[in-house]
């Protein structure tokens, strides 16, 4: 089963993204705790793309496809902006974030902690970030 | 959608957060924090009973003031977080850096 959403690159679209995530994950009978955390992780990636790769340009779009199977859910986020490969970024030290009074960096910690696998590929100007969550019974 | 209400109780200020905080509105939380610091208060409480969601943009606002609060001896206390939102604080280890209480009474008495 495949679920698909396209949003414009504006931070105000993040609430639409959350609604789509929650509705889809509820349909897939994901626990409330996982619904919340998976929504957060996908939003963090999309917010990063909207702000850093697309500079909040409302003409650009991001596509999210959710694919589920009994053992895992794949969140595939596609855009055509400047490639932002999460895997290139190290998880920052929390104490450093505090001492440098940084407001960024926390999103990467959340995505890497919540998701089980992260894949990234860039091909002819199209970037695909795949976030994978395994559900082992 | 986010609403922030400011209340004063004795020498403490309480920020009442309701709704969802994300990258589109975290600037509102940042502004509210700056306004409170400007009052010279030494005690800031954050009521999160109505806070349904917070992304790293909002959590980053709290984080970015921790050092200032320590230097200026401002006491920050957060209370009434829902289980789901508290889980996110725990993932980041923020529960070790910020004083979090079950409710307002516990926060005021601590």
pLDDT value at A137 more than 70: no
A72 CB-contact burial (10 Å; exposed 0-12 / middle 13-18 / buried 19+)? middle
Answer whether A14 sits within 8 Å of B60, measured CB to CB: no
Answer whether B56 sits within 8 Å of A107, measured CB to CB: yes
Q: Which residue from A15, A36, A106 is facing B56, i.e. has the nearest CB? A: A106
Answer whether A109 sits within 8 Å of B92, measured CB to CB: yes
Mean pLDDT of chain A: 92
Q: For A30-34, A82-86, A131-135, B105-109, which range has the lowest pLDDT when averaged over its residues?
A: A82-86
Which pLDDT does position A2 carry in this prediction? Answer: 86
pLDDT digit string, tens, across residues B11-61: 999 999 999 999 999 999 999 999 999 999 999 999 999 999 999 999 999
Angstroms from B110 CA to nearest CA on chain A: 24
pLDDT value at B82 more than 80: yes
Which distant-in-sequence residues (6+ apart) come within 8 Å of B55 by Cβ? Answer: A14, A40, A43, A44, A47, A107, B21, B22, B23, B26
- Domain locations in chain B as residue ranges: 2-109
How many domains, in total, are found in chain A?
Answer: 1
Give the residue ranges of DSSP H helices in A5-130.
14-27, 32-48, 94-99, 106-114
Mean per-residue pLDDT, A49-68: 95
pLDDT digit string, tens, across residues B55-80: 999 999 999 999 999 999 999 999 99
- Domain containing A75 — which CATH number? 3.30.565.10
Angstroms from A73 CA to nearest CA on chain B: 20
* A92 reaches B (C-beta below 8 A): no
d(C-alpha A120, C-alpha A134), whole Å = 18
Closest alpha carbon within chain A to B94:
A94
Which pLDDT does position A125 carry in this prediction? Answer: 92
| CA dihedral sign, ordered A92, A98, A103, A107 | positive
Which pLDDT does position A88 carry in this prediction? Answer: 85
Q: Which residue from A15, A99, A110 is facing B56, i.e. has the nearest CB? A: A110
pLDDT value at A78 more than 80: yes
d(C-alpha B4, C-alpha A88), whole Å = 36
Answer whether B91 sits within 8 Å of A110, measured CB to CB: yes
pLDDT digit string, tens, across residues A12-53: 999 999 999 999 999 999 999 999 999 999 999 999 999 999
CATH number of B2-109: 3.30.750.24
Answer whether B67 sits within 8 Å of A99, measured CB to CB: yes
d(C-alpha A31, C-alpha A45), whole Å = 21
* A32 reaches B (C-beta below 8 A): yes
ipTM of the complex: 0.92
Q: Residue A49's domain spans which residues?
A: 2-134
pLDDT value at A102 more than 90: no
Which pLDDT does position A103 carry in this prediction? Answer: 66
pLDDT digit string, tens, across residues B86-100: 999 999 999 999 999
């Amino acid at each position: 089963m495949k679920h698909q959403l396209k949003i414009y690159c504006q931070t105000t679209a993040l609430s639409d993204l959350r609604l789509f995530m929650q509705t889809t994950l509820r349909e897939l009978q994901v626990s409330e705790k996982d619904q919340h955390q998976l929504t957060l992780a996908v939003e963090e990636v999309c917010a990063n793309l909207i702000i850093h790769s697309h500079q909040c340009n409302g003409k650009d779009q991001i596509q999210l496809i959710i694919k589920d199977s009994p053992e895992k859910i794949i969140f595939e986020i596609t855009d055509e902006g400047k490639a932002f490969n999460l895997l290139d970024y190290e998880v920052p030290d929390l104490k450093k974030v505090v001492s440098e009074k940084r407001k960024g960096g926390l999103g990467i910690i959340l995505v890497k902690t919540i998701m089980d696998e992260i894949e990234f590929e860039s091909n002819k100007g199209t970037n695909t970030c795949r976030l994978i969550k395994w559900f082992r019974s | 959608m986010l609403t922030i209400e400011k209340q004063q109780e004795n020498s403490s200020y309480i920020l009442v957060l309701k709704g969802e905080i994300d990258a589109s509105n975290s600037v509102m939380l940042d502004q509210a924090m700056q306004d409170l610091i400007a009052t010279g208060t030494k005690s800031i409480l954050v009521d999160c009973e109505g806070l349904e969601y917070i992304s790293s943009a909002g959590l980053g606002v709290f984080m970015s003031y921790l050092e200032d609060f320590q230097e200026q001896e401002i006491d920050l206390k957060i209370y009434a977080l829902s289980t789901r939102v508290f889980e996110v604080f725990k993932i980041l280890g923020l529960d070790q850096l910020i004083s979090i209480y079950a409710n307002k009474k516990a926060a005021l008495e601590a």
